[in-house]
Chains A and B, each alone.
Chain A
Amino acid sequence: MSTVEATPVVPAPTAPPVITARGVSKRFLTHKSKATALKERVVKGRGLGTEEFWALRDVDVVIGEGETVGLIGPNGAGKSTLLKVLAGILRPTSGDVDVQGRIASLLELGAGFNGELTGRENLYLNGALLGLSRRELESLEESIIGFSEQGQRIDDPVKHYSSGEYVKLAFSIAVHVDPDVLLIDEVLAVGDEAFARKCLAKIAEFQRAGKTILFVTHSLDLVETLCTRGIVVDHGRVQYDGDPVFAVHTLRKILGTDRPVGAPEVQEEIGGHVVHGAVVSSTRGGPRAGRFAAGDRLHLRVDVEVVDGPTVHAGDVRVVFMGAGDIPIFGLRTPEPLPARAGRYAVDFEVEVPRLNGAFIVGVQVDEPTTGLPITARRFDDAVWVETGVLPGILDVPAQVQVSEQ
């Protein structure tokens, strides 16, 4: 099976580091073995067995000014712990964390509100916790309340707020206190769509202003589209650190979601076809190549086996190039099906690379030619890079632009 080269790429920090974590480990002691009562401690003395759990192991992360980092990983991988350690909320068991500047954090639900206090009172309390003076908060009060869309509700105790209203106020405070570092843990999903858009717009504004953003999320599309860097955490260790597209692929591999739902882990001979490999290269049947420019010749060799069995089908081989978020960009197919005869076939495609921008991966599917039903499918996570223009967007469109005085 082909794999993404998951060598951790630590980009040389070009910008001055804002968050520096060196050799950070975090150990938790499990509750059952821990004396939670002073009485117990006195009765049992020091001889309590401690069961420990390492949520983080020897993590090195340096985040530079202006980076937008997506922290991804399976549930229980240590993402939130890492975020809390970087935020200075949890102290690491060993290692050092250094943060430059003001940190605003939105962790899980809420951001340190007291339910009894009104929204406005919480605004002042939270602002004070974030290091702002009363005078600064007075000047920000109006815009915070405006952004949070709370209106009159701002003077209700926050215990009466819905989770959406809660997050709106929390997010509004966090972005208005002019933080140098914004830490977000899976909260954007709570607000309604209109607010989510507003949040994303605000985040984009932060990016333009050169602020550092670090967020934990399970929405991988967001990582691909928003982040400049992705960090994959699993079992308390950094598994990958680098390009967001690669990070997402690495995570999908860990999660096993790199295959369609229901697809078997090992390619079985369903109807007698096995896709052994798909290699992108710059010459026919040549070694793997990863980078192309528009107009280059791109060769793709798909290695398919038609396995002997009680029923041997013919098969249409289809290839899809997919962009970020698995959006299909373009497809190719064999003009005629593979013969219904056992053997190993090399299917060579050749295309002129279109004017694309970004990273793409290849999915291969073999269909039964008459019914069109899929026999087998497999995706390959070796990303192919195409760099044509510098403008954002998948497609680089040639255009004429004229500026004339009217």
Chain B
Amino acid sequence: MLKKLITAGFVLALSTTASNAREHISIAGSSTVLPFATIIAETFGKDPTIKTPVVESGGSSVGKKGVCEGIGTKFIDIGNASSRMKTKELAFCDKNKVKLTEIKVGYDGIVVANSKKGKLLEISKADLGKALTAKIPMNGKWVDNPYKKWSDINPSLPDIEIRVYGPPTTSGTRASYAEMVNQKGYCAKDKEAKAASKARGDKKGKKCRAMRTDGAFIEAGEQDNLIVQKLQEDPNAYGIFGFSYLDQNSDTLQGAIISKTAPTFENIAGNNYSVSRALYFYVKHQHIGVIKGIDKYMDKWVANWGDDGILADAGMIPMPTAERAKYAKAMKELPVLTADMLK
């Protein structure tokens, strides 16, 4: 009996390693793109002649690194990302001779929200950066962020303790937030911070991206739903997460008005709301035609990424028409992504 089981096991293992042709499209990457990619994958898979693509989670870096890892069916075909590929990441692709095309699919707003029972936050981007960045300049010296209450930063802000739940360092949402608010909104704008950044040899203010670790900013894990639940229980706390979660919970949560713009669908789509980032996927040329249906999968995006499409309904912010046309064209012509394009 034992013998049979062992041989059966080995035969099974060997027979499958020999035949590793893959029939489904394999996608991995950003957990922000995942809800939208899965919607497309599911609609696409309703066609009985096609196997539904497998969409893995993992994070933007997993998507960008995974798609560059090599050519062959054991590697993924498409990498999702909520931040653009960097030249360094593309170099890894070049090293492995992987050719990619970059497709932008839409936008996602990052909101700072709290319970409707709490006070609505109306704040400038610079003040928001001041509230959560780890160090701020005082008389030319960088000191640990001293602000305990919102009103310490600006008397017009609510007189409650700063307590913000947000994603951990592995998250693309966190990285984008830190770049757009802490760095570009505060350290590159605020006069004092700008001068102090220059003085410490950090012209672009990149060092400001670090978030506070003294309890004012609380890492709440990758699960945005967890943050939503915490906000519903604690009206004095704020949370940072993707727009779709605010959209789904619009009856209990309110989004902070940042630099006089409320985080609404129209404002993000119209590029008025400044804390938003683009969502991408990177498709590997060498797999198109080898894995069945990659071109048709891309067509499904085009069919559904419009203003009335199912993706907008799920909370993705559509691109303007001209941009949609540009990337629909890119799907057909497949321009190879080069380092120059990323500059």
A and B co-occur in one complex: no
